[in-house]
């Protein structure tokens, strides 16, 4: 069965960095794009970034552009989110999610359980 | 960027009643690439509906989606206790960003 397991969250001071990871299993990882989505306390879901199945295209929400970088290692079935210059408003649960298939447009159909990032001085 | 506006913000209903949730897009959603996700407290979201009207695997048939272009609806025919949660629409066609609506909270009356 499809499994997505995030890690790398924690408490960090404003301006610092973290690298979030998401280990995937149960499907052909190299055939799917992958998303990061976050949910801040008391707010709704916010789409953060997507990376194509082969890493050829990457897109970001305006709120994180220039600070966050999505990447993947298909040999390790893992997608990453490098989060730099963290702000208090980046505090959220970060979810990875399975995204567009190589051949067809697909919705997010599987979600991980999330990893909590808290930005606080 | 496509902005999705969900209404109402909160919907208070009783088990057994019918729920109708709305999602309106600021511009046409290409290919009806519109999904609905459910998030229960303390849980990860899960996909309910994709392509505006197709149920995801394992989703009960009391959930149905409809609509096209800029107006979409999620209907829950008879509410079960486990259906009280927050519901989000998301568009995933065309070029990113793949925005979410702000959510509709379904409360027990």
pLDDT tens, residue by residue, B60-86: 999 999 999 999 999 999 999 999 999
Residue of chain B whose Cα is closest to the Cα of A43: B102
Looking at residue B50, what is its pLDDT? 96
Looking at residue B94, what is its pLDDT? 80
Contacts of residue A107, defined as CB under 8 A and 6 or more positions apart, other chains included, come to B33, B35, B47, B50, B51, B90, B92
Beta strands in A1-121 (DSSP E): 3-7, 10-12, 18-25, 32-39, 45-51, 58-60, 68-73, 78-83, 92-101, 115-119
Q: Token pair of A110, please? A: 């599987």
Residue of chain A whose Cα is closest to the Cα of B88: A45
* pLDDT > 80? residue A53: yes
Interchain CB distance below 8 Å, A109 and B51 = no
Render pLDDT for B38-67 as a digit per residue (tens, 0 to 9): 999 999 999 999 999 999 999 999 999 999
CA dihedral B73, B77, B81, B84 (to 10 degrees): 10
Interchain CB distance below 8 Å, B95 and A59 = yes
Render pLDDT for B13-31 as a digit per residue (tens, 0 to 9): 999 999 999 999 999 998 8
Share of chain B above pLDDT 90, in %: 92
Q: Token pair of B77, please? A: 């025919």
Looking at residue B40, what is its pLDDT? 96
Is-contact A50 A107, C-beta < 8 A?
Answer: no
HSE-CB of A18 using CA atoms within 13 angstroms: 21
Looking at residue A4, what is its pLDDT? 98
Q: With an 8 Å Cβ cutoff, is A52 touching chain B?
A: no
Looking at residue A72, what is its pLDDT? 98
Residue located via tokens 């730099």: A84
The number of helix segments (H) and strand segments (E) in chain B equals: 0, 10
Residues in a beta bridge with B90: B35, B100
* pLDDT > 90? residue A105: no
Interchain CB distance below 8 Å, B100 and A45 = yes
């Amino acid at each position: 069965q499809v499994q997505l397991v995030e890690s790398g969250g924690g408490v960090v001071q404003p301006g610092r960095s973290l690298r979030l990871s998401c280990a995937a299993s149960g499907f052909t990882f190299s055939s799917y794009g992958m998303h990061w989505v976050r949910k801040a306390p008391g707010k709704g879901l916010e789409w953060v970034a997507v990376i194509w199945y082969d890493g050829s295209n990457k897109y970001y929400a305006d709120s994180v552009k220039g600070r966050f970088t999505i990447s993947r290692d298909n040999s390790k079935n893992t997608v990453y989110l490098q989060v730099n210059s963290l702000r208090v408003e980046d505090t959220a649960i970060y979810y990875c999610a399975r995204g567009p298939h190589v051949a067809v447009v697909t919705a997010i159909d599987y979600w991980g359980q999330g990893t909590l990032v808290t930005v606080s001085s | 960027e496509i902005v999705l506006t969900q209404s109402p913000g909160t919907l208070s209903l009783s088990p057994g009643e019918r729920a109708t949730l709305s999602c309106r897009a600021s511009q046409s959603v290409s290919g009806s690439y519109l999904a609905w996700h459910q998030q229960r407290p303390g849980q990860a979201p899960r996909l309910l509906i994709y392509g505006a009207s197709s149920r995801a695997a394992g989703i009960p048939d009391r959930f149905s989606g409809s609509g096209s272009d800029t107006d979409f609806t999620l209907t829950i025919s008879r509410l079960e206790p486990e259906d009280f949660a927050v519901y989000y629409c998301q568009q995933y066609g065309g070029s990113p960003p793949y925005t979410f609506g702000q959510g509709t909270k379904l409360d027990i009356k």
